[in-house]
Structures are given as C-alpha cells and as structure tokens.
Chains A and B, each alone.
Chain A
Amino acid sequence: MIIKTKLAALALGVVVALSGCSGNMPEGGNILGAATSQLLTTIKARRASGGQPEFITVTPAQLAKTNIPVMQVNLLERGGTDFLRRRAVRNDNTPGEVVVWLASDKAQVFLRNGVLVGTRGIGGDIVSSDATPTVLAVSGARAGGGERRYFLSPGTYEQTELVLRCNVENMGRQDTQIANLSFNTTYLRESCIGGAGDKVRITNEYWVQPGSGLVRRSKQWAGPFSGHFELILLKN
C-alpha cells in the first residue's frame, strides 16, 4: 500500500506541477497538453516499433512536379520519411560546401559535399564534426579515409567528443535509380571504429556521381539518438 500511495502521490505531484492555466506567465506555464502529447508520441513510437518501418517511394509523376531542390530522408532505425528543402548554402575555411537542409518540423541536416556533418532540432544532435578525409574521398568518388571527429549532444546542451577512425572503400560502379531516372554512380562504403574501448562501429554508404562528385544517395549515421538516415537527392 505504501508503495502505491507514494508512487501515485509522486505521479500526481508531477502532473500537478505541469498543469494549470495562466495568463501572460513565463512560457511553459500551461504544459499539461504538451506532456500529454509527449506521452502519446511515446506510446505511438512504442507501438510502431513492432513492425518494420515503412518508407515512402516517390513516383515519377511526383518527381516531375518537383521544381525546387528536394532531399528525401528515410529514418532507417526510427522509421519515417520526410522531404527536406534546401535552406542555405555556405562556404567556410573547411573543405567542402555546406548545404543546410530543412525538414518539415524545422529540424536541420548539414551536409558538407553530401557528407553529414551536423544536425539540429532532432534532439541529441551532432553539434559539429570534422569529416575532412571523408569529404575529400566522397567528392572524388574514390577510396580514402582518416579521422572523423564528432561533438555530440547527450540530449542536453553539453557536448561530448567522439573520435572515429574511418576507412572509405570504393566498391565499384553501382547505379542509382530514383523514380524513373537512373544515375551512373560509384558505390563507396565507409567503416568507422572508435570511442571508448573501440565499442562504437559505424558504417556509412555513398552513391556518388563520378566527375561532379554529387552524392545522389547515401546512408549515413546521424548520431546515437537518430541512427542512420537514408538521404536521396530527388532534385538538385
């Protein structure tokens, strides 16, 4: 009985602390709704995890109608598809050009010459990272490798550094089919290992158009909370 009462009281305390209505109070004043929706999301996510995630396949007709740059993202482990718009292009002192892709929920993915170097608004984001050896290999559609250095958010606004040793292998020509279009691409596979006790192992895959170095399709690690993203460049 004691157990029950205590837990119930604790749960009640939390709910009470979160509820109420207010006028002109600091933000976060009326958040019971938010708490409830968070709960539902959690439950839904749990239910969804029972089956294999399903992703949207773009039809040729849909692709034909698209006239702005669009990137499809499939969340390979978490499940779900979104279409990203190109928000900004930046050049800085680090090799490669950064494109900021914007999701429908305003989350962002940073690609440096097609290599995922940062995320925002997903939660537990990649704050920043150095992928220069990978960027050089991918841009040249050739083998390569070296150190990749991540600064990761543990779900808060601190950051933890993760250093991986990466090896990019050229797996040869493997064309990429996007709707009714076929692209001549080279398949690169990157294997990384590192972290404490070398327990972190990550694989990234890139399908790169030789010559332009444009990454048409890729499967890349987006941090421990997000898992891998499949990124398909529908329209450049």
Chain B
Amino acid sequence: MSHAKGSIVQQTHPTRKNRFVILAIAGLVTAAGVTRATPASIEDVFNVPDRPSLNFYGTPGLMDMPSAEVMPDGQIAIGVSSFGGNTRTTLSFQATPRLSASFRYTTIKDLNLRGFEDFRDRSFDLRYLINKESRIWPAVSVGLQDFAGTGIYSGEYIVATKNFSGGRLPGKIKVTGGLGWGRLGSSGAIGSPFGGPRPPFEEGSTGGEPSVDQWFRGPAAPFAGIEWQINEKWGVKAEYSSDAYEQETQIGNVFTRKSRFNFGAEYQYTDRIRIGAYYMYGSEFGVNFQFQASPIRPPTPVRATPARPLQLRPSRASNPAAWGTDWITEPGAPAGLAEAMKPRLEAEGLELEALQVTAARAELRLRNHRYATTTLAIGRAARVMARSLPASVETFRIVIVENNLPQSTVTMRRSDLEALEFDPQASDALLAVSGITAASPDLPGAVRNDDLYPDFAWSIGPYVSQSYFDPDEPLRVDAGVKATATFKPGPGWEIGGTVRHRLFGNISDSDRLSNSVLPRVRTDSVLYSRGSDTVLANLYVAKQWKPGNDVYARVTAGYLERMFGGVSGEVLWKPVASRLALGVEANYVKQRDFSGLGFQDYSIATGHASAYYEFGNGYHGQLDVGRYLAGDVGATLTLSREFANGWKVGGFFTLTDVSAEEFGEGSFDKGINVTIPVSWFLGTPSKRSVSTTIRPIQRDGGARLSVPGRLYEQVRGGHLNALEDNWSGVWQ
C-alpha cells in the first residue's frame, strides 16, 4: 500500500544541523517540516501535479534554457542562481493553470555596462502554456523574458517538452527543444523567421516599457536539453544553450564561454527545496537554489479548536412546555438572553454587539476577533444561539460587524442546522437553504452591549522596513520598535496613531537623492529616513459608517502617513451579492516635514474613482482613475489572485499623463503585492496577515496616498463570494 511519494518522504531524515538551516530559511518555517507518510498521499488525494525543476532564471527549465513545463496552479517559486559572476534572484508565480509571471533581480559582476561596475537590474517575464502534454503531443509553451526592463536579458522563445517514463531506465526523462530570439537567439542562429532586424535597446532610455517592437524579431536559434529525474531525490540535466553571452564575454569580461553545453545534478532536499550544482559553458561552476510552495496547501493545515456539536432542542412532543412562547412577554427577557450569550461568544473569540429577539426569530450582531475566515465565526455564532435561545426561536440571523460596518445577514433555520450537521453533504446542503442578504445599517429595538465603548487598545513591537534595489546596496533595512494605539470612543469612531523609533539601519546611508523633475512626493524617502530616528508614522481621527444597506462611508483626518497629512473621505457601493463594487475617494493633503510634526509647502487635492470586480475563483481586478499625488492624472490597474486561506499575489501598473522622460527610470509605476496570512505559518486561526509591495523603482509619477482603513477590504470578506468559497467553515 505504500505509495512512492509517501515512502520517499518517510526516508527523509535530515541531520539536526540541516534541519535548523531549513527552518531558518525564509521563515517559511513549518513549511519545510511537515511531510508525513500516509498511504493515500496528499498529492494524490488533491490531484496535485508534479512540480518541475527550475532553471537559472527561476522558471521551469534546464539551466539557462526554459522548458515547456508549468508549475502547479498557484505555485510560488523563489530561485537563486549563480555562475561566473551572474547572480539571479527570481520570484515566480503560476497565476493561472497556464500563465505564469516572474520578477527577477540580477547582479552581473564586473560587467562595466552603462556606467556601473557591477550591473544590477530588474526584469519581468511572462510564460504561457499553449498545449498541455498528452500521450502523443508534447507540452508547448511560449515565453517573453525580460519583456519590459532595460533589456539585458530580453529574449523570446517557443519550447516543447515531452516526458518519457517506464522504459528500461528508472525514473522519468524529459526532453526539451525550442527556438529562441533575442538573447536566446544569439548563438547558432538559423535565420530570422519573423523578420528582422531586431531594434536594439536605446542607451540612456528610461526602460521599463514593453519592448513590443523587439519581440520575436531578428535571428532565431534552436536550443535543446534533457533532464533525467532518476528518482524522487536526484536528477541530472544537460543542455545545448543558444545564449552567446555577448555582453558578458565580448563587451565586458565577466567570464569565458568555451562551450555551448551545460551540465548539472540536482537534489530534492525537501518537498519544497531543491539544490543543484552545474558546470556551465565549459568554464564555470554554478549553483542553483530552488524553493517552491503552494499557497493552496499550507505547510501546516489550519487547526481551529472545533466548536461543540450543535445543541438540539427537545422534541415538541416530549416537552411541549419548552416550546412555549410566553418567555418573550417577560420584561428583560432579551437582555437576559444577551447576557447569557456574551461569555459563550467570548469563548469563541466573538463579541456581542446587539441582539434582537422575537418569539420565532433572533438577529445577532457580533464582532469577530479571531477568524480570518468569516464562516468560522458564523458557524460558532449559530451554535451559541442554539445553546442559548428558547426552542421557539426558529430563524437565526447572524450579522458580522467590522468596525461599525455590518457586513451581511446570514439567515439560517434552526431546524436545518439541527438536521444537517452530520449530513453527507453538510456544507453544500446548508448553503442551499441559507440566505445571504444585505445588512441594514442599524438594528432598531435591539439589546445593545454597553461594554463596547470606550475601547482602548495598544501594542508595542519591533518593525522592519526595507528599501530594495538601490544600485549601491540592493537591500537596505531599518529596524526598531513601533508603538500603536487606538481609541474608540463610540461606534465607528477611531483615534489611532503609530510612533516608530529606529534602532539601527542603513536606508538613510544612501547617497542617491532624488533627481525627479516632478514634485518629490515619494522620491525623498532618503531625506525622510535621515530626518529623525523617532517618527510619528500616523496620527488620525476617523469615522466610518453605513449610510445605506449597500453603501459604506469613511472620513479620516490627521497625519495619514509618513509623508502626507490632511483629510480623506471615501464612499463605497458594494451590494452583498454583487461581484462589482464602486468607490470614490477624495483627499486634500499637504506634504509633511522630513522630521517633526510640521508641513512643507507642497499640497495637493488627490482622489480616485475606483471599480472593483470579483471574477470568481479568487481572481480580482481593480481599476482606479483619478489624480495622483504629484498632480498627474491617470489610472491604475491591479490584478490579483487570492486563495481561500488568505494568500494574495497581485501585480499593478499605473499610466498617467507624465511622460516616460519626466517619470524617469522605469518609465511608469508598476509593482507586485504579496499578502501572506499569519495563520498559514502558525496553523492556528488569526486575522492578521503580512503584506509587502515590491516596485522595481519608486518614482513620483502615479503615486497614491496611503490612507489607513480603506473600505473595500474591510467589507469584502463578509460578502457572498467570500462566504460561499469558505462555507464549509460554518461546520468546522
């Protein structure tokens, strides 16, 4: 019964020392550890395809050459490779089953190109699987490498890969062949099938724009390779490279290219980590570290302490008295029920806001302090209601309230809950008979929880802020302590502030001051960093409320962020069952001093009209049109994919009326966002997440104000789509 995957995993017993190395890596801590041998493996049960090995560009492939393979849907990969002075760090994301995107940071030692001794550059790739491998046909992919950078790696390819297994050799053999253009067509070209010549990258241009006129133009060269995955642990690779490394070997003297052939051996260290050693171009030794993880399957399954089984009512026949409705006529009955429910809710990480009861119906409004997945809160609230309310109450209405914003009304019949808890299709059956509808702004005649206000909360902890891709020092870090406090005097009101004190760091050491011709709304970050060790990151007063069933509003004033202060107002329209949401935000802000509480002269009215759309299956789009901080007018498009466990990976770009020359390096603003839920690491429920935005370069064009408490993300989690996707949480 022992399946290959399971049994191999069981044989993995890294030494104690190595174990700590893995655990340290990436803080993806528990990621590395939990692989269990079970007879029916997790991969088989959830039908997870095999992960391909990565090449030196951090995408599926051999060494320098790509293959046609795709990573499993949703996979996130980090590749770090180095040979002959070329070091590449790549983050890749399989955004859909066929489309993947990569972002890369490169250092080429001693290239002496464009005035830099060590050349450092960012690049983006896109790959698309045209044909899935079948019994006869190979997988075929097309790719654009470095399609919008300064072009040093730019190349296009079409590639085919076929798997062979089951012959006399053990394991699996993958044979790859393809045709490359640009960099991948620089050695052994066979002509220009789509015409030429290929226009060169213009020295001195700002880069960053899709180089459409270059794609698939100029000479094309064939490349090929073979990978033999001997067993679950070991694999060997050989390739014929079509990359001449012209700039590195002819213009610069980075290394000597003596051969077109590369060879390597790779070892699968854990389920997620693979390491390789290579002999490159007949002269250089190379290494490649590959990390792959899936946000779909967490390293540790999320474990919430289960709720107790739903309490049943006595049957009406055996105990008719328990079904009486006289209780409702007793004065103070609703208040008594609310008091009884409070501690029971509290034990589940929930807090009662209001309770409205009649003889047959109850509406409970509550806050969820514990569960990132709203359905867990709903299921636990339903159980508390079943335990606490008299038998005659048949209809439960549950409304989760986030910071004074009632999200949606989930209506369930108590008898359905009683009948379906152990049903073979418990989750789908309950969803079919539950209603998810709009929540009214207020609940008249309800018993309210008087303990909610005033509410004061604080926290003190460390902070780290990073600055990426400075040509002199690719990663700069500041670290110190941060104190945050919020005071809520009444419903929807919040006074909040954050003070940071830097203990050490090197962001302010940078001598690359702004050369921007636009108002310096973002590029003065080094001056802000130099300004003071202790900073007031923000201090504001905010009020948010629901003016209507489907409308949400917010007003915020104060020091909104490190660089700007002022007033901000936002209105959002988001019906519970709608995939579309529309919002408007208007701000008037003044630029803050580099240190202290004062302001500089620059002020601006900035704001956007936004459309948000849920495409389904976790794909989200957002379009913001308006005026940006530097006074430029344009639009930002954001596309992201959110997984049910809260992982979110997205990309955005902004085009405004600022020209590429005015904008400076990169030509326009773009970047990627990654959000990782804390529960993914811990395996215990938590509402917290860690987010980061990485831009190839931060300039002043297309810059948006950063306001605390924007509305959309606050309400979306409690609406129809999010609830349906995670509905089984009601029973867990």
Binding site for B on A (CB under 8 A): 2-3, 5-7, 9-29, 31, 34-35, 38-39, 42-43, 45-46, 49-50, 77-78, 87-88, 90, 92-94, 98, 100, 105-108, 110, 112, 117-118, 120-125, 127-132, 149, 151-160, 162, 195-197, 199-203, 221, 223-228
- The answer to whether B682 has its CB under 8 Å from any CB of chain A is yes
Instruction: Please provide the 4 A-B residue pairs with the shortest distance between their CB atoms, ordered closest to farther.
Output: A20-B461, A28-B686, A123-B301, A130-B424
B residues less than 8 Å from A45 (CB atoms): 33-34
- The answer to whether B489 has its CB under 8 Å from any CB of chain A is no
- The answer to whether B678 has its CB under 8 Å from any CB of chain A is yes
Q: In the bound complex, do residue A13 and residue B460 qualify as a contact, i.e. CB atoms below 8 Å apart? A: no
- The answer to whether B289 has its CB under 8 Å from any CB of chain A is yes
Q: In the bound complex, do residue A22 and residue B458 qualify as a contact, i.e. CB atoms below 8 Å apart? A: yes
- The answer to whether B651 has its CB under 8 Å from any CB of chain A is no
**Known interface pairs A22-B460, A90-B421, A112-B422. Does A153 touch B44 (Cβ–Cβ under 8 Å)?**
no
Q: Which residue of A lies closest to B307 (CB)?
A: A120
Q: In the bound complex, do residue A34 and residue B684 qualify as a contact, i.e. CB atoms below 8 Å apart? A: yes
- The answer to whether B729 has its CB under 8 Å from any CB of chain A is yes
**Known interface pairs A28-B687, A128-B731. Does A5 touch B44 (Cβ–Cβ under 8 Å)?**
no
Q: In the bound complex, do residue B474 and residue A157 qualify as a contact, i.e. CB atoms below 8 Å apart? A: no
Contact of A151 among B39, B296, B303, B728 (CB under 8 A): B728
Q: In the bound complex, do residue A23 and residue B45 qualify as a contact, i.e. CB atoms below 8 Å apart? A: no
B residues less than 8 Å from A39 (CB atoms): 23, 29-30
In the complex, besides A14-B29, A121-B304, A155-B300, 5 extra interface pairs with C-beta distance below 8 angstroms are: A2-B475, A27-B687, A29-B688, A123-B301, A156-B644
- The answer to whether B108 has its CB under 8 Å from any CB of chain A is no
A159 to B425, CA, bound (A): 11
A residues less than 8 Å from B678 (CB atoms): 17-18, 28, 31
B residues less than 8 Å from A149 (CB atoms): 424
Q: Which residue of B lies closest to A50 (CB)?
A: B13
Contact of A92 among B82, B419, B685 (CB under 8 A): B419
Q: In the bound complex, do residue B301 and residue A153 qualify as a contact, i.e. CB atoms below 8 Å apart? A: yes
- Secondary structure at the A interface, as helix, strand, loop or mixed, is mixed
B residues less than 8 Å from A23 (CB atoms): 456-459
- Smallest CB–CB gap between A67 and chain B, Å? 23
Q: In the bound complex, do residue A17 and residue B690 qualify as a contact, i.e. CB atoms below 8 Å apart? A: yes
1/0 contact trace for B56-74 toward A, CB 8 Å?
Answer: 0000000000000000000
A14 to B45, CA, bound (A): 31
A197 to B731, CA, bound (A): 30
**Interface stretch (choices B370-378, B577-585, B654-662):** B370-378
A197 to B44, CA, bound (A): 9
A residues less than 8 Å from B45 (CB atoms): 152, 160, 162, 195, 200, 223-224
A residues less than 8 Å from B303 (CB atoms): 121-123
Contact of B728 among A117, A159, A223 (CB under 8 A): A159
A152 to B456, CA, bound (A): 41
A221 to B39, CA, bound (A): 9
A residues less than 8 Å from B462 (CB atoms): 16, 19-20
A24 to B463, CA, bound (A): 20
Contact of B39 among A49, A93, A228 (CB under 8 A): A228
A residues less than 8 Å from B370 (CB atoms): 27-28
- Smallest CB–CB gap between A99 and chain B, Å? 10
Binding site for A on B (CB under 8 A): 1, 3, 10, 13, 19, 23-30, 33-34, 36-42, 44-47, 80, 82, 87, 89, 107, 289, 296-298, 300-306, 308-309, 312, 349, 369-370, 373, 375-376, 419-428, 455-464, 466, 474-475, 477, 479, 482, 643-645, 678-679, 681-688, 690, 692, 725-726, 728-729, 731-732
Contact of A29 among B38, B46, B375, B459 (CB under 8 A): B459
- Smallest CB–CB gap between B267 and chain A, Å? 17
**Known interface pairs A90-B309, A117-B422. Does A15 touch B27 (Cβ–Cβ under 8 Å)?**
yes
Q: In the bound complex, do residue B427 and residue A10 qualify as a contact, i.e. CB atoms below 8 Å apart? A: no
A213 to B706, CA, bound (A): 66
Q: In the bound complex, do residue B461 and residue A151 qualify as a contact, i.e. CB atoms below 8 Å apart? A: no
12 chain-A/chain-B pairs, Cβ below 8 angstroms: A10-B27, A12-B479, A19-B461, A20-B482, A92-B423, A123-B302, A149-B424, A151-B425, A155-B297, A155-B298, A156-B302, A221-B39
Q: In the bound complex, do residue B300 and residue A38 qualify as a contact, i.e. CB atoms below 8 Å apart? A: yes
Q: Which residue of B lies closest to A77 (CB)?
A: B38
A79 to B82, CA, bound (A): 42
Q: In the bound complex, do residue B427 and residue A93 qualify as a contact, i.e. CB atoms below 8 Å apart? A: no
A residues less than 8 Å from B36 (CB atoms): 49, 77-78, 225, 227
Q: In the bound complex, do residue B44 and residue A77 qualify as a contact, i.e. CB atoms below 8 Å apart? A: no
**Known interface pairs A24-B456, A46-B19. Does A160 touch B423 (Cβ–Cβ under 8 Å)?**
no
B residues less than 8 Å from A159 (CB atoms): 427, 728
A residues less than 8 Å from B306 (CB atoms): 106-108, 120-121
- Smallest CB–CB gap between A76 and chain B, Å? 9
Q: In the bound complex, do residue B725 and residue A16 qualify as a contact, i.e. CB atoms below 8 Å apart? A: no
